[in-house]
Structures are given as structure tokens and as C-alpha cells.
Chain A
Amino acid sequence: MGRVRYRSYRGYRGYRGCTSTLTLVAAAALVGAAVGCSNSTGSAPGTGSGGPVKSGGTLTFALDEDVTGFNSILEGDNEFVLVEMQDQTLPRVFVVQPNLKPTLDTQFVTSATVTKTNPQTIVYQINPKAVWSDGVPINADDFVYNWHAESGNPAYKDVGGKAFLPIATSGYNQIQSVTGSNGGKTVTVVMSKPYGDWQSLWSQNTPLLPAHIAQTVGFDSGFQNFGPASQVSGGPYMIQSYTKGEDLVEVRNPHYWGPPGNLSKIVYRFILADSQQPPAVQNGEVNLVNPVIASIPFLDTVKSIPNFTVSVQPSLQFQHIDFNESNPYLKLASIRHAIAYGTNRPEMISRIVTPLTTQIGPLQNRIFMPTESSFTDNSNGYGAFDPAKAKQLLQQAGMTMGSDGYFHPNFGPEKGQDFSLSISTTAGVEVRAEIEQLLQANMKAIGIKLNIQNYAANTLFGTIGPKGEFDIIEFAWVISPFKSVIKSVYCSYTDTGDCQNNWDHYANPTVDSLFTQALTSMDPAQAAALYNQIDGQLWTDMVTLPLFQAPDLYGWSSSYANVIPNTSNVGIPWNANQWGAK
């Protein structure tokens, strides 16, 4: 899960991988929940179109962000677009499917099994044929190196004795040992404590870097510039060329041991302004688009292009408001509930989202999205729009309605004055500004004066949020299918080590205990039940109010088959090796 700052940083939203073993039928079935529209013929809405494809040809995918380097595991390089482009070039053990379930890439690892629960032991069998594009076998050394780099353990050093700078250490910091056997093709991982999300290891946003290259050029600096190091591939495609600000071209990896990709070339074209993508589609220069913000003008334009399929689907990104419980009023759950009851989420959705899709409603779970099978409505009615109840709760909290239509607290620093709170978000983001304005009107209706105080994204996420210098903050979270990272947001803020992302000063030992159980559970169903229990408690405590999922827009030329949207944090090129010209 990650925060979404502004347009150019969809970054933490997602990480992907690809598997060459999926069948088209299975893949298409997995996106059955998708919704969309198409102006092409013969393709089911939102599912992409299947059918026989030719071998060869080029597909050009417009991206709205360039890369800053080629190591997606390195802090600073961890951008969504890079993860997208490395879907087909770096191996991952598990790949999240369009149904948001991780599936083993059996071309890379023929099996990954938990063989022992205490201590948790996982055994990976690497495909004997698996080799990097320079001919070096992919083996246990790669797993060991990547574990060291991502462990956060200062005992392990990058070239020149420098510290590794990984984007995250989750899971890897719980590994006790990684050993190879069977000529390095069997990898045995022993965890120091149970890790329920073990399928996220060497998967998703942490693909496998070639150890023999990284050990030479350096993890932190060796992949900063395009060159031979960043061209080494362990997937169906490899990077052929990269021109800063222009494009990145991938061609088939001649050393790939599995079925080769259908297309002979995939071009990632950097068109930073989304508004410039539709003309490029019209002119035949671009075949696939996926803008960060699905806007009505963009949708209308691409829908009007002949032979172009368009699909709008609920994404894993959702807007929400957080309450800072260090505020003397917001520390009272009744006031937080009053604000939630006073928030007209259906109206927000009808204004902001419905013009794009009617499939999105008020979000009733902040850990699982409705498109995930473990989703349940845990809101227990707390998210309902009920202004009368909101006023009643404010009165019960010790407030009196003033003659000017605002409540006056009978306690605290605003005693006898209009009850005022501030709301902050990133300045210049249209959707968020609209949310704030609607919320401001909603709060006025229940007697709360809401002042808008916005900041540049860097300030909001660098200072205002982490230092808790807000009353209410509004931004977007991006949900990962692997839930363990959520702990750092909701576990008790007093634990500054594990809970550094709890900006809301929320603390509940029950939630802490449930997280401990969920994170160590080896049973996915049990873990999901525990996460839902946590979400139920978060509704009861009204820590945050989830608003709605953002819509994702995908569009592709109907002359291509097997283009299948994936709203998880792996993105649309998750199966790019199966894309092909009809």
C-alpha cells in the first residue's frame, strides 16, 4: 500500500510481474468483475479480446512518466512505470493476477512450498532452464544477494562498502537464512519469525536483480544509467534501447527458456501530458493508453476513436480522510463519527466518479477493495450519511449550536467559539479540491467550520503528514494484495519503529494484537478474516473514513488481442508476452 501524491507519482501504486504460463482463457476469466465500454466489435467489455494472434509486430504503450533509473528496488527509482516496463524483463516468483490473487510463475520457479511452519521454511525450485540473458544461470546466489540488499541489515554492504538503499525491507528483514542446493536450483529460505505474506518475497515490487551484475556495478548506483547492466533480462523480453524522455524499446529475449512473446517489439513511449495521448492514438502512433487520472475529456476523446477499445474499472487506489487524534476534539471518537455521518459520500461519487463509471460506490472497507474476494462490508452503518445523527453526536460530545449555525464547544481551546477544523491535501489536484469543497459544505450543514489549507505534495507528505501538523488530511492510498504493509499505518503510533506511517496518533492494543496474529498466520483465509476484523475495529474507532475507489481507464487498439487490464499494482503489461496483433 502506498500514498499517491500527485500525478507523476503513481509510483508506489504498484508492482507487477508476469507469467508466461497463464492461459488466455484463465486470464480472461479472472477479470470477470471488470466493467467497461468498448467501441470495438467482438470484444467483451473490459476483458480484453482474445483470439489467435500473429507472431511479430510492434505495440506502442504511452506512459506519462519517464524513469529515473533502472533498479525498481532502489529508493528513488521505485516508480510505477519502471515496474511496468520490467514486468517482462525481471523474474518474479509470484505474479498478481487481474483477480488480485498471486499466482506462481512456473516458467521461473516450478514450485514454492512452505515445508515447515516453525521456523517457517520455504523451498523454491528454480526452473533448471532459467538463465539470464547473458547466459548465466539464475540460481540461489540471486536470491541470496537480493535478500542481503533488501534486508535492511547494515552488516550487508553494497560495492565500496556503502549501505544498500532498498525501497522497503518488509519480509526480507525477517529472513534468517537463504541457502542453495541442487546446483543452486533449490533455494531454502528460513524465516526468523512467521511471515504470512511470504508470497510477496522476490515478487511484485521486488523482482530478482541479477546478482552477478549487481555485485559488480553496485545496487545503489549501477543501474542509474541505461547500459548493459540494465539490459540483462530474466524474462521473455529484454530492453533494447532507451532514450531519455522519448521511449524505451523491448525486444524478445533470445535466451528466454519459455514460450517467446508474440510481439517482436514493445515500445514504451513517454508522453507526459495525458491530454496529448489521444491525438497520438488517432494518428496511429500509440496503441495502448492508461492515464493516471481518468478524466471525462480523455474518456470522451478515446471513445470516439474508431477501432479502439476502452475500459473503465475500479482501481485499487482510494481516496480517504484521516483524523488526527492529537487534536483535542478529534481525539473523541464521537466527533470523528459525527464528521463521518455528516459526510455525503454518495454525492461526492455522483459528482466525481459517476460520469466515468457507475460501478463505484461508497467504500466500506479500507483493507480489501470490492474487487478482492476477501472484501466484506465492515462499516456497520458508520459510513452512512446521516446529518441528524451527526448533530446529535456533536451535542452529546459537549457542543451547543450557536446562532450563526456553527456548534460551539463547551470545552477545549475553542470553547465558546465556532467549532473549526482544517483539512489539508495536495494543492492543485482537481479531484481532491472538489472533495474538500463538498466536505466543507457537508460540515457547514452539521455545524462545523472546515477551513481548507493545502500544501505542495512534498510538503504534505514530507512534513505536514509525518509530523502530524493537520486536523484532517485527505489523500489516496493504493492497496496491495499483500496486506502486511498496512500495519505501519494503523498499529499504535507509540511504536515509532514499526508504525512510522501512523500519522493519525491512533493507538489500540486490540488492533496491534490482531495485526500480530494476521501477519504471522500461514492460512490466507484466517489472515483475511483477521484483517477484516481489524477493519471493523477501525470503523468502530473511526480512524479514517474511506471515500471511494478511483476509476482506472484503459484503452487499446482493437487490432491487438490479449490486452487484459489488471487493476492490481502490477498494471496492464502483466501479460504483455501474450499481447499480439490479430
Chain B
Amino acid sequence: MWAYLLRRTAAGILVLLVLSFAMFILVALSGDPLAQLRASPGTSPATIAAAAAQLHLNQPLVERYWGWLTGLVLHGSLGSSYTGQPVGSQIAQRLTVTLKLVVPAVLLSLLIGVVVGVVSAVRQYKPVDHISTGLAYLFFSTPVFVLGLLLKDFLAVDVNKAAGHTLLYTVGESTPGINGSWNVFVNEVQHAVLPVLTLTLITYATWSRFQRAAMLDVLNADYIRLARAKGLSPRRVLFVHALRNALIPVTTIVAIDFAALLGGALVTEIVFSWYGMGQYLYNGLTGAESPDVYAVQGWLMVAGTAVIVFNILADLLYGLLDPRVRYA
């Protein structure tokens, strides 16, 4: 078990290392962070040269990468972005925002996805299955920005009009100037409803289809027929014998999707003006003084680590869900 964990971790670190080098080189070569400065009338060559030196642009690429890597390994530092701010603290702030969005959305999606998937499988080809299938395809195929706009236009505006005051907000994580921790919490929840709902609808749609398919496979398996033949109650067959095994493929999907969402739900963040990990990466690639190779590297370390960790976690969960894996 521990040897397995060590092997997977070592392999993950190696992948991150290779990825970080490739990303560093590609991002650094993809543009000139000083392009705006160079194109600005009145900027002296001395200023441009000093700015280049400040951003280490006058050093060879490999040397710059080595400097970044040694900073990370020896000091645990992700360095400073081209705008002069520490990448580590920037990432921490952005990750907090993303977690506020992603964690509730994933929990809700998991709950709804599993329930809908199980019900669809148990009631295969019944009206409830057709309805849930139709809704899943509808949400699955609707672009996030369209769904977000629809919720804003047809939910938030109308609900607020009916209520006579603002219950649901369409932009940002909170309203500035709110006093009192309870009021702040309520205000943040009001801001989170629409983006979380958007992300939930998109995500549950996929997961419910996986859950349905996995459940159908299990329900038709021999050991389920045996369990029924042994006279076990339908509830026990469904929840203890069937669902537990049907959760294995869904676990993989959830782990991978959750890790990916930690890297940022870019479109959802843009639509609702949440400045999370996705927008951080986007800014690093397109914002002022971009491409900001250090910001992108910081994002990569967090997003890449999340993917590796959650994949390992998924493997461990298999063991919990399926004793055959644990004893193999």
C-alpha cells in the first residue's frame, strides 16, 4: 500500500517536473510581456531595458527556469508574477474563491447525479427515466455561458422583481461594505446561488449518465440476481450490493472532474465575474505583461498537483468500495 503510494507520488512529481519545464518554455516563447511598453510612444529604451532586466527577460530561458525551480524546491516559493506580486499568495486567494464555487457545486452534483442515475436505472424506460435523460442531455449540451445568461435573465431578475429587493446577485462574490459576519455570509450565499447552480446543472448531467450506466451494468450482474434469489430485501440489494459497486466508475469521473475544476471553472467564473483559478490562468496568458510565465507555473503546480492527488485518492477509494481491489 505505502509502496504503491510512494510509486504513484514519485511518478506524479516526475510528470509535474517535465510538464513545468515544457510549460515554462512554451509560455515564455509565446509572446513578449513588454510588447505594450515597446509600442507606447515616449517610452525610453533605457526604461525598456530596465523593465526587461527586472523581469529577468534578459536571461537565457533555461537559466530562468532553473531559478524558478530552485526557488520552489529550496524555499517553497512559487516566485513573483511579472506584476511584482507573490504567486503563492495570489494562488491561495484564487483557490479560495474557486473552492467556494466548486465544492458546493461538486457536492450537489454528486448527490443529484447519483440519485438521478440510480432512479433512472431502476426505472429504466419509465417516464421518470425519459425525463431525467432529457434533462441531462439538455444541460449537458447547453453551453455554460448560455445557461448562466438564462439563469440571470429568467431567474434572478424575475425573482428579485417579485421579491421587491435583491435576493439573487448576478456578478461577483459579494457586495462591498456589508457589515457583520452573518450578513456577509448571507450576502455571499446570495451571490453564490447562480454560479453554483450553473456549475451543478452542467456537472450533474454528465455524472448522472455515468451513474445510470454503471447501475444498469451492476443490476444485470449475476451476483445481484443471486442476492435477490437469496431473498434479500430490494432496498438491501440496491444500496448495499448494487450501488456500492456502481459507484466505482463514477468515483473516477468525480475525482478527475473535481481536480480539473480546482484548476478553475473558467467560463462560469467569467460569466459571474468570480476571480478564481480559471481567470488567474487566463490573466496570466492574456492580461497585462502577459504571457506571465511565473503566474502560469504557479497555476500549473496547483492544478497539476490536484489532478495527481485526486487520481491517487480515486485509486484508494476503489479499495474502500471494492474489496477485490483491496485484497488484490
Residue-wise, chain B 144-159 has the 8 Å CB interface mask toward A (1 for contact) of: 0100010011001100
Interface size class of A (residues with CB under 8 A): 35 or more
In the complex the two chains form, is B176's CB within 8 Å of A241's CB? yes
B294 sits at the interface (CB 8 A): no
Question: Which residues from A are CB-within-8-Å of B59?
Answer: none
Question: Which residues from A are CB-within-8-Å of B30?
Answer: 456, 458
In the complex the two chains form, is B46's CB within 8 Å of A163's CB? yes
In the complex the two chains form, is A459's CB within 8 Å of B31's CB? yes
Which listed segment binds B: A31-39, A165-173, A308-316?
A: A165-173
In the complex the two chains form, is B176's CB within 8 Å of A249's CB? yes
Question: Which residues from A are CB-within-8-Å of B153?
Answer: 279, 282
B275's partner among A173, A249, A270 (CB-CB below 8 A) is: A270
In the complex the two chains form, is B43's CB within 8 Å of A75's CB? yes
- Smallest beta-carbon distance B32→chain A, Å: 3
In the complex the two chains form, is A68's CB within 8 Å of B288's CB? yes
A284 to B31, CA, bound (A): 40
- Smallest beta-carbon distance A317→chain B, Å: 15
A165 to B50, CA, bound (A): 7
B220 sits at the interface (CB 8 A): no
In the complex the two chains form, is B35's CB within 8 Å of A283's CB? no
A565 to B47, CA, bound (A): 34
In the complex the two chains form, is B271's CB within 8 Å of A276's CB? yes
B41 sits at the interface (CB 8 A): yes
B85 sits at the interface (CB 8 A): yes
Residue-wise, chain A 1-45 has the 8 Å CB interface mask toward B (1 for contact) of: 111010011011000000000000000000000000000000000
In the complex the two chains form, is B31's CB within 8 Å of A456's CB? yes
In the complex the two chains form, is A225's CB within 8 Å of B85's CB? yes
In the complex the two chains form, is A163's CB within 8 Å of B169's CB? no
B58 sits at the interface (CB 8 A): no
A75-B43, A165-B50, A249-B176 known; A272 and B84 CB under 8 Å? Answer: no
Q: Which of A458, A462, A463 has the most chain B CB within a 10 Å cutoff?
A: A458
A168's partner among B40, B172, B283 (CB-CB below 8 A) is: B40
In the complex the two chains form, is A282's CB within 8 Å of B51's CB? no
Question: Which residues from B are CB-within-8-Å of A320?
Answer: none
B contacts with A: majority SS: loop
Residue-wise, chain B 244-278 has the 8 Å CB interface mask toward A (1 for contact) of: 00000000000000000000000000111111000
In the complex the two chains form, is B36's CB within 8 Å of A5's CB? yes
A488 sits at the interface (CB 8 A): yes
Q: For residue A459, which residue of chain B has the nearest CB?
A: B31
- Smallest beta-carbon distance A465→chain B, Å: 7
Q: Which of A1, A241, A282, A497 has the most chain B CB within a 10 Å cutoff?
A: A282
In the complex the two chains form, is B41's CB within 8 Å of A485's CB? yes
B42 sits at the interface (CB 8 A): yes
Question: Which residues from A are CB-within-8-Å of B271?
Answer: 273, 276
Residue-wise, chain A 280-291 has the 8 Å CB interface mask toward B (1 for contact) of: 101111100000
Q: For residue B97, which residue of chain A has the nearest CB?
A: A245
A488's partner among B41, B166, B283 (CB-CB below 8 A) is: B41
Question: Which residues from A are CB-within-8-Å of B33?
Answer: 458
A168 to B97, CA, bound (A): 36
A457's partner among B35, B85, B275 (CB-CB below 8 A) is: B35
Residue-wise, chain A 151-177 has the 8 Å CB interface mask toward B (1 for contact) of: 010100000000101111110010000
In the complex the two chains form, is B35's CB within 8 Å of A458's CB? yes
Question: Which residues from A are CB-within-8-Å of B173?
Answer: 246
- Smallest beta-carbon distance B49→chain A, Å: 9
Q: For residue B151, which residue of chain A has the nearest CB?
A: A279
- Smallest beta-carbon distance B40→chain A, Å: 6
Question: Which residues from B are CB-within-8-Å of A389?
Answer: none
A224 to B83, CA, bound (A): 7
Question: Which residues from B are CB-within-8-Å of A286?
Answer: 171
In the complex the two chains form, is A168's CB within 8 Å of B36's CB? no
- Smallest beta-carbon distance A241→chain B, Å: 6
A280 to B175, CA, bound (A): 13
B288's partner among A79, A166, A462, A489 (CB-CB below 8 A) is: A79
Residue-wise, chain A 382-396 has the 8 Å CB interface mask toward B (1 for contact) of: 000000000000000
In the complex the two chains form, is B172's CB within 8 Å of A246's CB? yes
In the complex the two chains form, is A12's CB within 8 Å of B42's CB? no
A91 to B46, CA, bound (A): 28
A154 to B44, CA, bound (A): 11
Question: Which residues from A are CB-within-8-Å of B283?
Answer: 66
In the complex the two chains form, is B166's CB within 8 Å of A501's CB? no
Q: For residue B290, which residue of chain A has the nearest CB?
A: A458
Question: Which residues from B are CB-within-8-Å of A285?
Answer: 166, 169-172
- Smallest beta-carbon distance B45→chain A, Å: 7
A283-B156, A500-B45 known; A462 and B149 CB under 8 Å? Answer: no
Chain B residues within CB distance 8 Å of chain A? 30-47, 50-51, 54, 82-85, 90, 93-94, 97, 145, 149, 152-153, 156-157, 160, 166, 168-174, 176-177, 270-275, 279, 283, 286-291
Given A1-B41, A245-B279, 4 other A-B contacts at CB below 8 A? A276-B149, A279-B149, A458-B31, A459-B32
Nearest 9 Cβ contacts at the A-B interface: A245-B275, A462-B35, A458-B31, A462-B32, A168-B42, A279-B152, A170-B42, A224-B84, A461-B39
